[in-house]
């Protein structure tokens, strides 16, 4: 019988991000292995962003795969959990409720472009009680400006709530080159393929094939933006050829991979 091992729990202690007298705080958390942060909530809103590694963020509104170059905005009080797909270097922006109305009351995934990423990295070095009215406060205010103006992304990969199906999906997230078929997954879950197809559609709103294609494409963006060849990226993410990868890329993003990297927003996929 195939056993799906749950990841070890990871102890996250964000007290300093909650208790600082300043309206904004940025904290760093590095997690090794496939760690999990159990369901919890914060008094403050937060932007969860990884400068390396992939996170799966689950909240009442749904679950999302969040690779480098994207961040999940969670409003104050939102119950959520985080699962790490491999080693993750996570950076969290905590925001006092009522600081900016434009941050919104809903959970959403946003692009983290080069400017926002570097602002977050720079903010890690600032003291939690940074001086007001100077450069440090302006860095924090600019972080909020960039989060406010960032569009919500429709290109995301919803994760199922069904525990054993979610574990299989996470295997593919960790290694997108793994072969995957409806029949093979149904066998591992001890159900027939038709039942799994209905379960997958109900849990994710997507059919199995579309989910796999979108997951692999989304997970390929950081490596592509880091300078890997289209051949290397295609093979590492389960595509038979660069042409198959390029065709899927064009259908989903409306442009070939080479043009995407030259467009104004490619940094959203950068690691």
State pLDDT tens for residues 200-223: 999 999 999 999 988 898 888 877
CATH 2.60.120.280 fits 15-149, yes or no: yes
Q: Residue 54: its pLDDT value, please?
A: 81
Q: Residue 95: its pLDDT value, please?
A: 96
Show me where the domains of the chain are located: 15-149, 163-269
CATH 1.10.10.60 fits 163-269, yes or no: yes
Phi-psi region of 254 (alpha: psi -120 to 50; beta: other; left: phi over 0): left
**Weakly modelled stretches of the chain, pLDDT under 50:** 1-11, 13, 264-271
Please state the pTM of the whole predicted model. Answer: 0.69
Q: d(Cα 245, Cα 240) in Å, to the nearest integer?
A: 8
Q: Residue 266: its pLDDT value, please?
A: 39
Q: d(Cα 262, Cα 251) in Å, to the nearest integer?
A: 18
Other CB atoms within a 10 A radius of the CB of residue 176 amount to: 22
Contacts (Cβ under 8 Å, ≥6 apart) of 241: 234
Structure tokens that stand for 192 in this block: 């027939």
Q: Which residue has the tokens 């849990």?
A: 203
Tens of pLDDT, residue by residue over 80-120, are: 999 887 788 899 999 999 999 999 898 888 989 999 999 99
Q: Residue 184: its pLDDT value, please?
A: 97
Taking each continuous run of H as one helix and of E as one strand, the counts in the chain are: 10, 7
Handedness of CA 139, 141, 143, 145 (dihedral sign): negative
Q: d(Cα 23, Cα 91) in Å, to the nearest integer?
A: 17
Q: Which residue has the tokens 């903010």?
A: 123
Q: Residue 242: its pLDDT value, please?
A: 92
């Amino acid at each position: 019988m195939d056993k799906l091992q749950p990841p070890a729990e990871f102890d996250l202690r964000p007290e300093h991000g909650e208790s600082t007298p300043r309206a904004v705080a940025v904290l760093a958390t590095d997690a090794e292995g496939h760690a999990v942060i159990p369901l919890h909530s914060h008094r403050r809103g937060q932007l969860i962003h990884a400068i390396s590694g992939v996170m799966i963020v689950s909240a009442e509104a749904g679950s999302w795969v969040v690779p480098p170059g994207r961040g999940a905005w969670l409003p104050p009080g939102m119950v959520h959990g985080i699962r790490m797909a491999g080693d993750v270097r996570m950076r969290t922006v905590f925001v006092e409720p009522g600081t900016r109305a434009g941050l919104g009351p809903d959970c959403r995934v946003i692009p983290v472009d080069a400017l926002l990423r570097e602002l977050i990295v720079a903010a890690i070095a600032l003291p939690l009680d940074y001086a007001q009215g100077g450069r440090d406060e302006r860095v924090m205010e600019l972080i909020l400006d960039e989060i406010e103006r960032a569009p919500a992304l429709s290109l995301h990969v919803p994760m199922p709530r069904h525990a054993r199906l979610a574990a299989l999906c996470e295997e593919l997230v960790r290694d997108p080159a793994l072969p995957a078929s409806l029949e093979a997954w149904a066998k591992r879950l001890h159900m027939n393929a038709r039942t799994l197809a209905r379960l997958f559609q109900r849990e994710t709103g997507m059919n199995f094939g579309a989910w796999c294609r979108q997951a692999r494409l989304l997970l390929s963006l950081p490596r592509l933006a880091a300078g890997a060849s289209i051949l290397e990226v295609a093979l590492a993410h389960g595509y038979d050829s660069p042409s198959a990868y390029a065709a899927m890329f064009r259908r989903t993003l409306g442009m070939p991979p080479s043009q995407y990297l030259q467009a104004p927003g490619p940094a959203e996929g950068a690691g």
